[in-house]
Structure 1
Amino acid sequence: MLRFTQDRRLLASAMPFALALAPYPLTGEALAEEALLDEEGYAEERSEAITVTGVRQAYRGNFAVSEIPQSIAEISAETLQQNGIQRLTDALDLNASVVRQNTLGGLWDSFAIRGFAGDENMPSGYLVNGFNGGRGFGGQRDAAGIDRVEVLKGPAAALIGRGEPGGSINLVTKQAELGRSFGTASIQYGSWDRVRGEADINLALTEGLTVRLIGYAEDGDTFRDHVHQSRWGFLPSVGLTLGPDIRLTYDFEKTRVAVPFDRGIVVLNDNFDTVPRSRFLGEPGDGDTVARATGHQLRLQHEFSDRLSLLIGGSLRDTLLTGFSSDAETVASRQALYSDGRSLSRQRRSRRYDARHYVVRAELAGEFETASLHHRVLIGADYDSFDYDQVFLRFRPPLLSTNPTEQQGNVIDILDPVYGRFPLPVGSTMMDRVDRQRSIGAYVQDQIEIGERLQVRIGGRYDHLTLETDNRLSHVYSDRQHRRFSPQVGAVYKLSKPLTAYAAYAQGFRANVGTDVSGTIFDPETSESVEAGMKITLLGGVLNGTLAAFQLTKSNVLATDPNAPGYSLAIGKARSRGVEFDLGGRLPGGWDVLVSYAFVDAEARSTMVDPNTAFQVLPGDPLVNIPRHNLNLQVARSFAIGEREAQVGAGMQYVGQRSGETGTDFTLPTHTLFRLFGKVDLMDHLELFGSVTNLFDAHWYANSYSPLWVQPGAPRTATVGLRAKF
């Protein structure tokens, strides 16, 4: 959080006004970028580009956050460290507009922003330094190496291209910082004998060459029986100056995750105590599912002047996920559990998902005047290539009408499980296919200052998209091309120095992967978004925020075809609308605060029969795993114990009731989780830190696909560690 000293009387008088306008949180780093103080104590917006350790941010341009007609929230590395957060999924819980979705047994990141998620058969896409980085199968993203998490709400297709209408997540990584050396190293121990080591060392080799070495390794059990996890990663960055105004940055990624595939628990007749939350219903004999990732990023930044800059970059990322799993059968006609309440029929699946994704791009950012108008322009182009090679095998229990034996049904007793009771069944090939996407895009954006108060943004992006599917199982090859223009318009009006109103309209799209059973490639998923709100900056940055109202619609939504595994069906339209409330800053007495609330009404807008469940979906039915109410609160205070610095903090998360299965009335209950965290300096350059999550050991459920695939949340979890700095 931003550290500063302010007049307490002035703060007290401003607090009611700020709370009434529902401002939104920025981290300390973002606040520092956002504002400078004038002689009256108000914030003067910077005209410099927002940068990360000297690296210009793609797609952002030369704007303060308050000048952008879009809601943007940022979660800093300091906040992640305070809370002991080590996964991107847990980091996103801090923003109420983002909620968890089905994570493929804990093997990928999946989330919805403003009520909309992407393809349920793919991980959620996210950006890494502006490059698409979440489309592959490298496992859940670790928080090591993240400098901040940006939640860019609303569609960004007019600049970035493909994406969900609810928004995009951009991970800004820790870059090599030129000209100085520093570092940290930590070791920690947590519940279920989890041990983790982490290091971040920045070495200035010469005045113009710096290497930053970041790595982590983690090993231990989990609260789930027979679920042991192991993960490691190496994330170095190299910074090189090629001249006074030219910088070259190279980032490398090498990670590995090994963990048993885990579909969670079963819930019968809405009884969430059907089995203990620790009970594993797969087969330990399936072994680990392993996810690997290798990535490269190279960026060249040239500042021609304070009004013109060029950013050229490229990214390449290879991912591979392989493994077996034993999953509860979800079709009632094959599920023995509904007959006796204890015999769970299970499929057995084998996966090999291999993906390669590379992007090249160039962006020119400039400023100029025409008559009395000041223009800030972005012009860019990119090429995006994504190859997805998937081989999927499945064994499925026979129909109950054939009176199968327990071995034929691959049955496990949920009340008294005996693992390895039967030989592991061998599946048949259900999918052997390669999907390819190629896209060439160009975009332009102009934000025009009209007088001292009004700014208008216009822009758009043109994409030429080629989709190919080579089905090696059916020997059917399909291809299709799409051309699309995605426009955006917006306006920002400064009502007063601390208060800005904004409004925006945009269209977006996301290419749908795969085909229907006949081999036909689907039209892209399309969307429209309308958003309006207010941004506020008070007392030189002591309080910052946004109140936003939005409505999103999208069409050509896909779901899995139950009668043809590996294929999809188009199921119709959906709409999401709501209000967001966020607040961040420092209160008198040194208390840092973070508040994030979202009300989201996300629902189907088409009548259909859901292909996954065979249940009918009607307009107005809620979308799965989307709560109407979501709230996160956090307070922290730094103080001194003698000559040593210390910090304590607490947080609370409330998640409302959610639909747990499309087309039925199965719901996940509300939950409220509390957390504590703190740290203290033991001596110079050495601190003791710790955290406790789910303080009161609440029973909660992270997400659900059906009552037979429910992911329980972790019970009370404690972590303690030592961190050395130099």
Structure 2
Amino acid sequence: MIRVSIRAAMIAGVMPMLAMPSAAAQAGQTGGQATEAGEADPAAPKASEERGDIFITGVRQAYRGDFTLKEIPQSVAVIDGKTLQEANILRLTDALDLNASVARQNTLGGLWDGFAVRGFAGDENLPTGYLVNGFNGGRGFAGQRDVSGIERIEVLKGPAAALFGRGEPGGTINIVTKQAQLGETFGTTSLQVGSFDRVRADADVNVAVAGTLTARVIGYAESAGSFRDTIDEKRWGFLPSIGLGIGDSTRLTYDFEWTRVETPFDRGIVVLNGDFDTVPRNRFLGEPGDGDHVARATGHQLRVQHDFSDRWSLLVGASYRETLLTGSSSDAELVPSRQKLFTDGRSLSRQRRSRRYDSDHFAIRAELAGDFELGGMRHRVLIGADHDEFNNDQDFRRFRPPVLTPTTTDRAGNIIDILDPVYGRFPLPTPAPLNNRLDTQKATGIYIQDHISLTDRLQVRFGGRFDDFVLRTDNRITSVLSQRSDQRFSPQAGIVYALADALSLYAAYGEGFRANIGTDVSGVIFDPETSKSIEIGGKFSLLGGRLAGTLSVFQLDKDNVLASDTSNPGFSVAIGKARSRGVEFDATGRLPGGIDVLVSYAHVDAESRSTLLDPNFSFQIRPGDPLINIPGDTLSVLATKAFDVGGRQASIGAAVQYVGDRSGATGTDFRLPSHTLARVFGQVEVIEGVELFGEIRNLFDERWYANSYAALWVQPGAPRTGAVGVRTRF
């Protein structure tokens, strides 16, 4: 007899457990009904019937469990692939703009993803960390991540570090990739053209090869100019996935990543005396002769899921990823005594830098999930262990302008005239070695979580994680070898009380840490960054389940926080304590009239809690000083409506994002102004299986600024742009 386990199907994926489905997903696939575990969910794994057998076709995410949205003492938001496709979002950074709790941060001249969740960003000398299918995928130097191959993006906010381990207290971004769907054959292709000579092609083809073996081939290629003078970009990626069903309870999945990004390093514009019209937003102040920075990544993931029964399952996985970033750039000097621009208002003194950042990251994990009755109460447990090793090999070289004197020449300062730039005016200076070191981190952790249903309305969650880690830095220039080891226990606890079927209240507390990789300029390894987090909120479901959301308040406290050492790039300085607290509101669903909406608002107050004299610029950091690039208020609203045109499917949509003013340089009064961006998009099926789509971004051509590190390193946002394309489905 064939027995289909609904629970086994549910735990094979994360969306039925966590998802607050996006408006687009509801519009296109769920008929506007907010989904919970046990209900039909298009993002849930599917089961295929082959010769009388039932095979699991989805893969459960690690660090999860079998929970409905209202049972989780944590704020969770999901941005699904359909939303990304409808709005024609192409980069992870742009996708995260849809959640107000996520703020843009420094992107190393546009070469990595930098963002903060609930006010905290992590190490400024590394890309912001995120998970890919539960593995730490944000480490390394692979360029800004493309959305091709992304099934959905999960914004897992709140004090969950005790389970994930070694993360930021504000939250974790988990990217779930498109994986082979067993026993199915389907595909999409698209071609689009856009502003500034952008041309892009995508393909996603899932093919049932034989029996329960299925391959999914995903690829993209893009070539584009930019509103920035002399800046263009080329990128491509190959992201196949292979799935194999073994019997009726085991699923093996292998994912491959091979990507490349080529683009010049771009520090943006300069702002003098608070005047954001100092130069046009298109003006490039580097040197085209520096050529492109090239970012490469090669990655492998292998996961095996086995269901022992409808109550117990095991997930085992391993990941290995290599990245390499190489290139040279000419960047504005920040120290006033070396910067001629502060003297005459037009002559920009520039450093010249070269980078070779090479990294590899290996991780392995295993997790057992169970559901059982004990003492008359239901227990849902997660028991797991993981080990990872991260090697960060950096060769950084720099030429620096001399301290200004009456005899300092423009050539000596590598000067460019910001009002009338002439590229290639002087021979490019040769950078000298500044930082050549290998940072190694090895960490092993074990964790357990028990989610107990005390009554039909009251549930509690207890958990903890123990980590043992070793940090080692080999400075090849100074011949200083630094090493430290430490152990940490991170507890967590939560409670959920259902006032009614449509309303539940929750509270959660958690502690965590993040090892501070690298050293100060003298070779001392910093203490780990530690954190304490508390969150209280409520979750609701209205309009017969068609509108669902979360309202939460939080406070996060961190110690041993680091910032970049500007005088010694690649090194850090300790700035002590920081705190972030705020209020968030997330809602998604279908309004009367068939309008699907996604609304996200956040008020965040993120500030330093220590007194520090900055060693580079001699400014004072005081308690209450805001953290850089964190707006006080952010609002994002997206709405779509589907309809028929001559019997063909069509949809239109619009999105608005407001970002409040924010600090543009640590310890100063320089601030980036607020901005409001609008976007419209739509698509229509012209014949069966073929649709046209288009979009306009920054509809009202707002002048805006994405992020800043200092007044001389300000990243302007793009003006009004558009794109049109054609997509086929089969």
Task: Flag whether TM exceeds 0.5 (same fold).
Answer: yes
Give the drift of 1:95.
0.2
Deviation per CA, 1:95-127: give whole Å up to 9, x if none: 000010000000000000001111111100000
Deviation per CA, 1:202-237: give whole Å up to 9, x if none: 001123011000000000211100001000000000
Residue 637 of structure 1 corresponds to which residue in structure 2? Answer: 641
Structure 2 counterpart of 1:406, one-letter code: D
Distance 2:200 2:35 in 1: 42
Structure 2 counterpart of 1:613, one-letter code: F
Which of 476, 483, 491 in structure 1 is aligned with 2:495?
491
Structure 2 counterpart of 1:684, one-letter code: E
Distance 1:585 1:512 in 2: 40
Judging changes above 3 Å, is the alpha-carbon distance between structure 1 residues 129 and 52 closer, same or farther for their aligned structure 2 residues? farther
Is the counterpart of residue 363 in structure 1 residue 355 in structure 2?
Answer: no
Distance 2:591 2:30 in 1: 18
Is the counterpart of residue 84 in structure 1 residue 88 in structure 2?
Answer: yes
Q: Please tell me whether the aligned partners of residues 25 and 594 of structure 1 are also in contact (alpha carbons under 8 angstroms).
A: no
Q: Please tell me whether the aligned partners of residues 26 and 596 of structure 2 are also in contact (alpha carbons under 8 angstroms).
A: no
Structure 1 counterpart of 2:200, one-letter code: R
Which secondary structure does the structure 2 equivalent of 1:213 belong to?
Answer: strand
Is the counterpart of residue 27 in structure 1 residue 22 in structure 2?
Answer: yes
Residue 405 of structure 1 corresponds to which residue in structure 2? Answer: 409
Judging changes above 3 Å, is the alpha-carbon distance between structure 1 residues 600 and 304 closer, same or farther for their aligned structure 2 residues? same
Structure 1 counterpart of 2:645, one-letter code: I
Q: Please tell me whether the aligned partners of residues 470 and 477 of structure 1 are also in contact (alpha carbons under 8 angstroms).
A: yes
Consecutive unaligned residues of structure 2, counting only runs of 5 or more, are 1-18, 47-57
Which of 259, 268, 272 in structure 1 is aligned with 2:272?
268
Q: Please tell me whether the aligned partners of residues 560 and 612 of structure 1 are also in contact (alpha carbons under 8 angstroms).
A: no
Task: Quote the sequence identity (%).
Answer: 65
Residue 383 of structure 1 corresponds to which residue in structure 2? Answer: 387
Distance 2:727 2:376 in 1: 55
Residue 100 of structure 1 corresponds to which residue in structure 2? Answer: 104
Q: Please tell me whether the aligned partners of residues 35 and 541 of structure 1 are also in contact (alpha carbons under 8 angstroms).
A: no
Deviation per CA, 1:462-500: give whole Å up to 9, x if none: 000000001111001111001000000001111100111
Q: Please tell me whether the aligned partners of residues 43 and 498 of structure 1 are also in contact (alpha carbons under 8 angstroms).
A: no
* TM-score normalised by the chain length of structure 1: 0.94
Deviation per CA, 1:246-281: give whole Å up to 9, x if none: 000000000000000000000111111110100000
* TM-score normalised by the chain length of structure 2: 0.94
Give the drift of 1:582.
1.3
Structure 2 counterpart of 1:500, one-letter code: S
Judging changes above 3 Å, is the alpha-carbon distance between structure 1 residues 36 and 94 closer, same or farther for their aligned structure 2 residues? closer
Residue 615 of structure 1 corresponds to which residue in structure 2? Answer: 619
Give the drift of 1:29.
8.9
Residue 294 of structure 2 corresponds to which residue in structure 1? Answer: 290
Which of 584, 591, 602 in structure 2 is aligned with 1:587?
591
Residue 16 of structure 1 corresponds to which residue in structure 2? Answer: none
Which secondary structure does the structure 2 equivalent of 1:55 belong to?
Answer: coil
Q: Please tell me whether the aligned partners of residues 34 and 548 of structure 2 are also in contact (alpha carbons under 8 angstroms).
A: no
Is the counterpart of residue 426 in structure 1 residue 436 in structure 2?
Answer: no
Deviation per CA, 1:286-324: give whole Å up to 9, x if none: 000000000000000001111000000000000000000
Give the drift of 1:551.
0.2
Residue 712 of structure 2 corresponds to which residue in structure 1? Answer: 708
Distance 1:530 1:568 in 2: 28
Distance 1:525 1:187 in 2: 45
Give the drift of 1:401.
2.7
Distance 2:40 2:690 in 1: 36
Which secondary structure does the structure 2 equivalent of 1:495 belong to?
Answer: strand
Residue 17 of structure 1 corresponds to which residue in structure 2? Answer: none
Judging changes above 3 Å, is the alpha-carbon distance between structure 1 residues 163 and 694 closer, same or farther for their aligned structure 2 residues? same
Which secondary structure does the structure 1 equivalent of 2:342 belong to?
Answer: helix
Residue 124 of structure 1 corresponds to which residue in structure 2? Answer: 128
Distance 1:622 1:427 in 2: 34
Judging changes above 3 Å, is the alpha-carbon distance between structure 1 residues 306 and 484 closer, same or farther for their aligned structure 2 residues? same
Which of 638, 647, 659 in structure 1 is aligned with 2:651?
647
Residue 137 of structure 2 corresponds to which residue in structure 1? Answer: 133
Residue 336 of structure 2 corresponds to which residue in structure 1? Answer: 332
Structure 1 counterpart of 2:713, one-letter code: W
Judging changes above 3 Å, is the alpha-carbon distance between structure 1 residues 397 and 43 closer, same or farther for their aligned structure 2 residues? closer
Residue 454 of structure 2 corresponds to which residue in structure 1? Answer: 450
Give the drift of 1:614.
2.5
Residue 571 of structure 2 corresponds to which residue in structure 1? Answer: 567
Which secondary structure does the structure 1 equivalent of 2:162 belong to?
Answer: coil
Give the drift of 1:83.
1.0
Distance 2:488 2:387 in 1: 15
Give the drift of 1:44.
7.0
Distance 1:30 1:574 in 2: 37
Which of 318, 322, 326 in structure 2 is aligned with 1:318?
322
Pairing 1:140-159 to 2, within 5 Å after superposition: 140-159=144-163
Distance 2:644 2:674 in 1: 38
Structure 2 counterpart of 1:575, one-letter code: R
Which of 475, 480, 498 in structure 2 is aligned with 1:476?
480
Q: Please tell me whether the aligned partners of residues 76 and 157 of structure 2 are also in contact (alpha carbons under 8 angstroms).
A: yes
Distance 1:29 1:453 in 2: 31
Structure 2 counterpart of 1:274, one-letter code: T
Give the drift of 1:47.
9.4
Which of 517, 525, 531 in structure 1 is aligned with 2:529?
525
Residue 627 of structure 1 corresponds to which residue in structure 2? Answer: 631
Residue 596 of structure 1 corresponds to which residue in structure 2? Answer: 600
Which secondary structure does the structure 1 equivalent of 2:111 belong to?
Answer: coil
Q: Please tell me whether the aligned partners of residues 42 and 497 of structure 1 are also in contact (alpha carbons under 8 angstroms).
A: no
Is the counterpart of residue 657 in structure 1 residue 652 in structure 2?
Answer: no
Residue 217 of structure 2 corresponds to which residue in structure 1? Answer: 213
Residue 186 of structure 2 corresponds to which residue in structure 1? Answer: 182
Residue 76 of structure 2 corresponds to which residue in structure 1? Answer: 72
358-367 vs 537-546, which deviates more?
A: 537-546
Judging changes above 3 Å, is the alpha-carbon distance between structure 1 residues 683 and 564 closer, same or farther for their aligned structure 2 residues? closer
Structure 1 counterpart of 2:22, one-letter code: T
Structure 2 counterpart of 1:267, one-letter code: V
Residue 231 of structure 1 corresponds to which residue in structure 2? Answer: 235
Q: Please tell me whether the aligned partners of residues 43 and 497 of structure 1 are also in contact (alpha carbons under 8 angstroms).
A: no
Which secondary structure does the structure 2 equivalent of 1:142 belong to?
Answer: coil
Structure 1 counterpart of 2:389, one-letter code: S
Deviation per CA, 1:43-66: give whole Å up to 9, x if none: 875399995551111111111122
Give the drift of 1:403.
2.9
Deviation per CA, 1:333-371: give whole Å up to 9, x if none: 000001111000000000000000010000000011112
Deviation per CA, 1:119-178: give whole Å up to 9, x if none: 111100000000000010000000000000000102332111111111110000011001
Deviation per CA, 1:380-439: give whole Å up to 9, x if none: 001110000000000000001363100000000000000001000001100010000000
Distance 2:433 2:594 in 1: 61
Judging changes above 3 Å, is the alpha-carbon distance between structure 1 residues 70 and 162 closer, same or farther for their aligned structure 2 residues? same
Structure 1 counterpart of 2:204, one-letter code: D
Distance 1:633 1:51 in 2: 26
Judging changes above 3 Å, is the alpha-carbon distance between structure 1 residues 295 and 402 closer, same or farther for their aligned structure 2 residues? farther
Structure 1 counterpart of 2:427, one-letter code: P
Structure 2 counterpart of 1:431, one-letter code: N
| Aligned CA-pair RMSD | 1.9
Give the drift of 1:562.
4.0
Which secondary structure does the structure 2 equivalent of 1:518 belong to?
Answer: coil
Give the drift of 1:613.
3.4
Distance 1:712 1:520 in 2: 36
Judging changes above 3 Å, is the alpha-carbon distance between structure 1 residues 274 and 420 closer, same or farther for their aligned structure 2 residues? same
Residue-pair matches, total: 699
Distance 1:272 1:228 in 2: 24
Structure 1 counterpart of 2:633, one-letter code: H
Q: Please tell me whether the aligned partners of residues 22 and 598 of structure 2 are also in contact (alpha carbons under 8 angstroms).
A: no
Distance 2:205 2:25 in 1: 23
Pairing 1:667-682 to 2, within 5 Å after superposition: 667-682=671-686
Give the drift of 1:696.
0.6
Is the counterpart of residue 542 in structure 1 residue 546 in structure 2?
Answer: yes
Residue 347 of structure 1 corresponds to which residue in structure 2? Answer: 351
Which secondary structure does the structure 1 equivalent of 2:500 belong to?
Answer: coil
Deviation per CA, 1:7-49: give whole Å up to 9, x if none: xxxxxxxxxxxxxxxxx953269879x9999xxx998753999
Q: Please tell me whether the aligned partners of residues 149 and 170 of structure 1 are also in contact (alpha carbons under 8 angstroms).
A: yes
Q: Please tell me whether the aligned partners of residues 35 and 540 of structure 1 are also in contact (alpha carbons under 8 angstroms).
A: no
